[in-house]
Structure 1
Amino acid sequence: MASAEIPVRRAPGGARWRASLWDYAAIVGWLAGLTVLGFLVRSVSGPALVSPSPPLGAVDAAALLLTVFPVWLYFTIGEGGRAGAGWGKRRARLRVVDAGGGRASYGRVAVRNAVKLLPWQLAHLAVARLILAVDAPVTVGVTYTLALVIPLVSIVMAWRDPLRRALHDRAAGTRVVQAPGAES
């Protein structure tokens, strides 16, 4: 079916918030599992496994590879797949589509989720640098401020846009709509 034939209805705001809450529940579960695993590894290996002052690059890589990347992968696989949605959006009867209402490509949803998760990674960088006291306070402050401002700008953009496209949707040429058969 061509994208012009697919009836596309803008996703209601309440459904988007519900979808986000379901997705964040999955993310919190992942992070809780990592925390438990970290405590188990530490209890078995003792403190010698991790040096008292790990290199900053190692801290940055660990934060990216263990937290941000798996979440990016979770969203990208779900939203780029046939359903066009991860667990939260499926539960809220929503899907991510391209600008014409057709299935969004994996490339588009990869960009969408990279932009969406950028503030999270910026916050990791700022907090790690704050804890390790390796960057100037101004650099940490700017990085952390960006981590807070980007989501606010994105929310305002979505609120003001007739199609409710946030920053990450605009960057990727996607939008969130009701799934076919979803009620108003």
Structure 2
Amino acid sequence: MAAAQESTRPALWSRVLASLVDYLVILGWMLALAATVALLRLSTGKFCNWLELGPAGAQLLGFAVLVLPVGIYLFLTESSAAQATLGKRRLQLQVVDGRTGERASTPRILLRTAVKLLPWEMAHFSVWNFAAIASTGSTTFPVWLYTVAVVANVLPAVYLLMVGMQREGRGPHDLAAGTKVVRLRPAPAELLPGLR
């Protein structure tokens, strides 16, 4: 019989540490992509210029090879029976429904993942558009593009501040999806009838 669990709001440091563990997983994927690019360079003698696809094509390719796999990792692990990424599991954290404390539904986890990755995708969008404009020889960039880049870089700090300051430690991704992250701990023996 599985031990009963109760949950508490996790400390900010545990959320940050769990994220760092997950970033190591993401870094592993990025290193695999870099190795693939290097192998392609060795076999073809040239680097693939993603901008030949145009800014939208480069954005789509970047999404397909980097953001989508990371999103799949986050979604599959947080919607699994463990309800946690590898980093969260290591720190005994779990994503739950913010109202009931039960397992969050698949649509909630999907929305949580999308909102969580939004700043990253906005940053990629701005980078590809800056690169496309710069490749024409222009050094003048539109204000809207600077705005997207600034917002993309400020949002992660906003997410972190909200997790640290919000009463239940919920960032924008949790608030949008109706989820929250909790720390698991074994229930005290007196709360487990019949185990004495």
| Contact 1:81 1:106 (8 Å CA) reproduced | no
- Do the aligned partners of 1:115 and 1:168 also contact (CA within 8 Å) in 2? yes
Equivalent position to 1:149, from 148, 154, 157: 154
Q: Tell me what 1:90 maps to.
A: 89
Aligned residue in 1 for 2:78 = 79
Cα contact 1:116–1:168 (8 A) shared by 2: yes
**Taking structure 2 as the reference length, what is the TM-score of the superposition?**
0.83
RMSD between aligned alpha carbons?
Answer: 2.3
Aligned residue pairs, count: 179
What corresponds to 2:166 in structure 1?
Answer: 161
Identify unmatched segments of 5+ residues in structure 2: 135-139, 188-196
Higher Cα radius of gyration: 2
Deviates more, 1:26-35 or 1:49-58: 49-58
Distance 1:51 1:150 in 2: 26
Cα distance, 1:35 vs. partner?
0.8
Whether the 8 Å CA contact 2:6–2:186 is kept in 1: the answer is no
TM-score (norm 1): 0.88
Segment drifting more, 151-160 vs 59-68: 151-160
Show structure 1 runs of 5+ residues with no match: none
Supply the distance in 2 between the matched residues of 1:51 and 1:31 (Cα, whole angstroms). Answer: 16
CA distance in 2, matches of 1:163, 1:174: 10
Corresponding residue for residue 105 of structure 2 = 105
Please report how far the alpha carbon of residue 140 of structure 1 lies from its aligned counterpart in structure 2 after TM superposition.
1.9
> Alpha carbons of 1:36 and 1:113: their partners in 2 closer, same or farther (altered >3 Å)?
same
Aligned to 2:29: 30
Distance 1:9 1:51 in 2: 46
1:69-108 CA distance string (max 9 Å, x none): 1101101100011100011101111010001110112211
1:80/1:109 contact within 8 Å kept: yes
| SS of match in other structure, 2:26 | helix
| CA drift at 1:128 | 1.0
Give the residue type in structure 2 aligned to 1:31.
M
CA deviations over 1:17-61 (Å, ceiling 9, x no partner) = 110110000001101110110111122123386577332221011
Counterpart of 2:170 in 1: which secondary structure?
Answer: coil
Counterpart residue identity of residue 47, structure 1: K
